[in-house]
Amino acid sequence: AQSVTQLGSHVSVSEGALVLLRCNYSSSVPPYLFWYVQYPNQGLQLLLKYTTGATLVKGINGFEAEFKKSETSFHLTKPSAHMSDAAEYFCAVRARGGNTGKLIFGQGTTLQVKP
């Protein structure tokens, strides 16, 4: 069965500092990988996704993530945090093949950005 683990339920950085949010997955076959962001009292918005091809993927708002098969990881980074990045971040996986589109989410990481 697939699972997703996000290390650190709460990450705090200073404005301008590097953001690193960790995500590891467990799957017999590398799945499709996603990062979603949830701003307060809003729905989820896709930041980026990895399906195939280049393992470093760039998303919106300056975020990027790198798929590392050997480490079963898909960590999210941003070189310089902005106050507006404060939100909840979810890593998710979806099995390749299949026909349900079922997303399995990690438990989320709250990003706090300090001035």
Partner 1 sequence: DTAVSQTPKYLVTQMGNDKSIKCEQNLGHDTMYWYKQDSKKFLKIMFSYNNKELIINETVPNRFSPKSPDKAHLNLHINSLELGDSAVYFCASSQRLAPIENEQFFGPGTRLTVL
Q: Which of 3, 51, 55, 80 binds partner 1 (CB under 8 A)?
A: 51
Q: Which of 7, 32, 66, 72 binds partner 1 (CB under 8 A)?
A: 32
Asked if 61 is part of the footprint of partner 1 (rule: CB under 8 A), the reply reads no
- What is the distance, to the nearest Å, from the Cα of residue 81 to the centroid of all Cα atoms in its chain? 15
Q: Which of 26, 42, 61, 84 binds partner 1 (CB under 8 A)?
A: 42
Distance between CA 75 and CA 24 in Å, rounded?
8
Phi-psi label, residue 107: left if phi above 0, alpha if psi -120 to 50, beta otherwise = alpha
| Cβ neighbours, 10 Å, residue 20 | 13
Residue ranges in contact with partner 1 by CB under 8 A: 32, 36, 38, 41-46, 49, 51-52, 88, 90, 94, 99-105, 107-108
